Structure 1
Amino acid sequence: MPVDPQAYRPAAPLLDLGSDFWDPVAAADFPETILRYRNDRAAAEIGLDALSDAEWIRHLGRFDPLPGTLPQPLALRYHGHQFRSYNPDIGDGRGFTFAQMRDARGRLMDLGTKGSGQTPWSRFGDGRLTLKGGVREILATEMLEALGVPTSRTLSLIETGEALERGDEPSPTRGAVMVRLSHGHVRIGTFQRLAYHRDEANMRRLVDYVLRELYGEEPGEEPGLRLLDLVLDRTARLAASYMAAGFVHGVLNSDNINVTGESFDYGPWRFAPSWDVTFTAAYFDHAGLYAFGRQPEAIYWDAMQLAASLRLVADGDPLVAMLETFGRRFQERIAHAMLWRLGLTSRGAEADRALVQSLERALRATEVELHRLFHDAFAQRLPDDYGEPWAEFRALAAAHAPRKERGAYWQGEPCGMLIDEVEAIWAPIAQADDWSRLHAKVAEARALGEALA
């Protein structure tokens, strides 16, 4: 197999974590494997970009083991709160981890799947993924990466030749298997499962694994407290980046929160058209639990479940005190994220906070399209027709120096990803197997990311 010996650095520390954390499984035997999308930019970071299409399909569609890493796929065990109701009967139900490796920065990366077949945790599900679901995940991850959100990346999408029945989209619909590249797949729910079983030995083992393998730290005297400190910082950044991106994940259950603070698993996601804090992505979120404006609260609530789980191996009072720092961390992160999105440099905490508060007031008072507003603000040409609520923001923003020169990109039209466009990208794929709009949108999102970077 042609791999770059400098970039391909296989690993398998998940095996050392032990068999109490996973179940060996086999991938489904798909009728077909038609390569629809390969992310060579991400693949280059782990030395897999030189694979031929046939080799790509063999390893990322048929799941022949990659050399030097996991010998077979592993379905991970976890619990979690789902819309605030505890569920001890979940785990990887239509996915698995089949490889681990180090990227150029030395980070441990997992290759995980979605739609790869049934596992012991599938319950009544078929373990499959719709092709449309895979296309939506490509669009979500590419746009979020461009907007500075820490996110998994869609590495591969392969159509499987299966016809799937689904209740929430026209059926039968085409099946697919997706591979994501993630900085770990350890969830808050992974810790909850061990707390549920009062498994102190494995809880200590998991804390050490996350500190050592995902944060690059040797465990010290209070590893549980240190882990919470790190996770709070990363999740505060995640919450802030969602808000600055105008993104609604849709299902921020504790089993969907990665302890590295990396966003992943995109089901009913949406980008908010305007700054509507009540905007929801999931049609089944009737109470608005995971609405746009409630996402920081939801992520904090999930972090509380991590702290509660860590009481098995750490004192409660310091954990509670650490939890209380989340609000401060989030405020710092939201200021940083908003300034980055606006293309402005910091003038200090107080001035930055005043600018962000002014921005939010103006956004609440108007119905400006978010992606257009941020495009115009970065280009330093907010239209006059944005109205009086923007006067204060204009004055405060003018006092901040731009963080980079505005290139030709900012003279063009803004790049958004509202639901109507997602449907318009899917329609020609469904009707005529025309993937040109998808590839054009990926290129457009990447151009945005380069202009913002």
Structure 2
Amino acid sequence: MAKLNAYNPDPAILKLGDAFYDPVAAADFPQAILRFRNDRAAAEVGLGQLDDDGWLRHFARFEPLPGNLPQPLALRYHGHQFRVYNPEIGDGRGFSFAQMRRGDGALLELGTKGSGQTPYSRFGDGRLTLKGGVREVLATEMLEALGVRTSRSFSLVETGEALQRNDEPSPTRSAVLVRMSRSHIRIGTFQRLAYFGDAENMRRLVDWCLAELFCAEPEEDPVAQFFGLVVEGTARLAASYMVAGFVHGVLNTDNINVTGESFDYGPWRFAPTFEPGFTAAYFDHAGLYAFARQPDAILWNCAQLAVSLRVISEAPPLIERLERFEALYRQAYSAPLLRRLGLRTGNEEAGWRLKDAIDAALLATQWPLDRFFFDAFGGALPAGYGPEWNEVRVALEEFDPVPHGRGHAYFAGEPCSMLIDEVETIWSAIDRGDDWSPFHAKIAAIRRMGEALETGKVE
């Protein structure tokens, strides 16, 4: 049961000033059919009590929430897209809609996808396909269950428009998605300020991020402090992607949140087996964002943030923190790996030996990733795993299983996965017969897996 919190609005983004955003209006959609509401997330920010009519007023018609932003704000940013700098982007089909404090004081933001055109839409229609919305809900639910820090799909509403798209059968159904995250401040937000040489607003943004996003008291060098926190968070994100077998697909600088949360899911995939070159985006011909290249891609993005921060900082303190990325990545790897295996926390080197042994066996055998983690939960491999897995068995012996082990009912069934064929089957039921039962059944199954992994949480 989700903990019920009071609604505590805090539109903190307004403290930054209008150099960071443009007021916009949401599209007037012909329909508003509620397809998904995340009551678990809503309860955390005091919105779980909304009935469906109230929900649609706020998250389909975008009537302002009490005491919150008086109108939506499209954020300004630039970004490297597949390593090519693009100063012509920004929130082109989304906006920041509301901010509120969670019970622990954390600032959470509701942002949209598919809510209509903005000054940054260029030639786009500002809309989202229903299939894209369904895919994002499935991605975020799966990642949350696997322990990845991610935005959370808060609401999905079908909007009754027929959209034309080049990469899927058209016309296709439309939707508007609301997602909840700590922030939508990207590396690309800083790149835009550097592009214009705007030192004053960059200092303002660094101070705002430290205070509002990290709840940190400024140190002697707040710029280096901020950058170090970004490097730490993104290194942790990279490690969790690898443990989850997740490929984001488009790790551009405008898709990297400074809080280290994963967000903005387009051509994502979960890898069926350990294949370093596995890609998610059909247009990633060079494999820039392939599965095993994701840590390097995220590190490269951090380097671009360092370049931007040079407007207000000397290079040495930034370089010093950037060079910590690899060590932080190694440190961050053990916790999600052991959580997924149902093992107690061990030392970093033992965790890294286990990681290397698992990777080698998975690569050699091409064993299904989800099957392996399901079977190995609790620290013992079944007899069906051949001699290629002996080093994994030895490495597992360095850890103790968590107390509850495989006691959760989830382990009496089959492993929960989210491979592309399953996604397409779920969408086909919706597309052909408006049958949402496989979609809701899958979310229930994902949450059962998350509960099982949580009962085996490392100590």
- TM-score after normalising by structure 2: 0.96
Could you tell me how far apart the structure 2 residues matched to 1:133 and 1:5 are? 30
Given residue 132 of structure 1, which amino acid in structure 2 is its aligned partner? K
Matches within 5 A, 1:67-86: 67-86=66-85
| 1:289 equivalent in alignment to 2:288 | yes
Matched, 1:90 2:89: yes
1:409 Cα deviation from its structure 2 partner: 2.1
Deviation by residue 1:147-202 (Cα, 9 ceiling, x = unmatched): 00000000000010000000111000000000000110000000000011100000
| Matches of 2:226 and 2:418, distance apart in 1 | 35
Q: Report the CA distance between 1:381 and its aligned residue.
A: 4.8
The alpha carbon displacement at 1:255 in A equals: 0.3
Q: Which moved more, 1:348-357 or 1:273-282?
A: 348-357
Q: Which amino acid aligns with 2:420?
A: I
Does the 8 A contact of 1:244 with 1:337 survive in 2?
A: yes
Kindly tell me: are residues 111 and 413 of structure 1, through their superposed partners in 2, closer, same or farther at Cα, counting changes over 3 Å? same
Instruction: Give 1:60 shift.
Output: 0.5
Q: Which residue number in structure 1 is paired with residue 257 of structure 2? A: 258
Name the Cα RMSD after superposition.
1.2
Partner of 1:386: 385
Task: Say whether the 8 Å CA contact 2:378–2:401 is kept in structure 1.
Answer: no
1:445 and 2:449 correspond: no
Asked if the contact 1:368/1:386 (under 8 Å) is kept, the reply is: no
How far apart in 2 are the matches of 1:314 and 1:69? Answer: 34
2: CA distance between counterparts of 1:177 and 1:376? 38
Partner of 1:46: 45
Shift of 1:379: 4.4
* Structure 2 CA distance for partners of 1:205 and 1:35, relative to 1, 3 Å: same
8 Å contact from structure 2 (residues 140, 153) kept in 1: yes
1:363 Cα deviation (Å)? 1.3
Match of 1:196 in 2: 195
CA contact (8 A) 1:60 1:156 kept: yes
- Residue equivalent to 1:170: 169
**How do 1:203-222 residues align onto structure 2 when only pairs under 5 Å count?**
203-222=202-221
1:239 paired to 2:205 = no
State the match for 1:126 in structure 2. Answer: 125
TM-score by length of 1: 0.98
Match in the other structure for 2:413: 412
1:342-362 per-position Cα deviation (integer Å, ceiling 9, x unaligned):
111233222222111111111
Deviations 1:189-244 (A, max 9, x none): 00000011100000000000100000001323211100011111100110000000
The residue number in structure 1 matching 2:344 is: 345
The answer (yes or no) to whether the contact 1:112–1:180 under 8 Å persists in 2 is: yes
CA contact (8 A) 1:212 1:218 kept: yes
Cα distance in 2 for residues equivalent to 1:287 and 1:136: 24
Matched-pair contact (CA < 8 Å) for 2:378–2:402 = no
* Alpha-carbon distance in 2 for matches of 1:248, 1:5: 33
CA distance in 2, matches of 1:320, 1:347: 30
Post-superposition offset of 1:252: 0.2
Identity among equivalent pairs (%): 64
Q: Secondary structure at the match of 1:10?
A: coil
Determine the C-alpha separation between the residues in 1 that align with 2:128 and 2:171.
12
The secondary structure found in structure 1 opposite 2:19 is helix
Give the equivalent residue in structure 2 for 1:137: 136
Q: Structure 1 residues 6 and 388, CA, compared in 2 at 3 Å: closer, same or farther?
A: closer
- For residues 77 and 225 of structure 1, the distance between their equivalents in structure 2, rounded to whole angstroms, comes to 23
Alpha-carbon offset, residue 6 of structure 1 = 4.9
Deviations 1:107-131 (A, max 9, x none): 1111000000000000110000000
CA distance in 2 between partners of 1:252 and 1:198 (Å) = 25
Distance 1:34 1:409 in 2: 32
Counterpart-to-counterpart distance in 1, 2:365 and 2:104:
43
Residue 457 (structure 2) aligns with: none
Look up the match of 2:8.
9
Contact preservation (8 Å) 1:35, 1:158: yes
Contact 1:73 1:97 in 2 (8 A): yes
SS of equivalent residue, structure 1 residue 163: strand
Question: What pairs with 1:264-283 in structure 2 (closer than 5 Å)?
Answer: 264-283=263-282
Paired with 2:334 and 2:217, the residues of 1 have a C-alpha distance of: 31
User: Unpaired runs of 5+ in structure 2?
Assistant: 455-459
8 A Cα contact 1:243 1:292, kept in partner: yes
Asked if the contact 1:25–1:72 (Cα under 8 Å) also holds between the matched residues in 2, the reply is yes
Does the CA contact (< 8 Å) of 1:379 and 1:411 recur in 2?
no
For residues 358-397 of structure 1, the aligned pairs below 5 Å read 358-397=357-396
Residues 19-73 of structure 1: CA deviation (Å, up to 9, x unaligned): 0000000000001111111110000000111101011000000000000110000
5+ residue gaps, structure 1, are none
Number of residue-to-residue matches in the alignment: 450
- In the alignment, residue 156 of structure 2 is paired with which amino acid? L
Please tell me whether the aligned partners of residues 191 and 310 of structure 1 are also in contact (alpha carbons under 8 angstroms): yes
* Residue identity in the other structure for 2:436: W
- Residue type of the partner of 1:444? A
Give the whole-Å Cα distance in 2 for the aligned partners of 1:123 and 1:61: 23
One-letter amino acid of the counterpart of residue 441, structure 2: A
Tell me the SS of whatever aligns to 1:93: coil
CA distance in 1, matches of 2:271, 2:333: 17
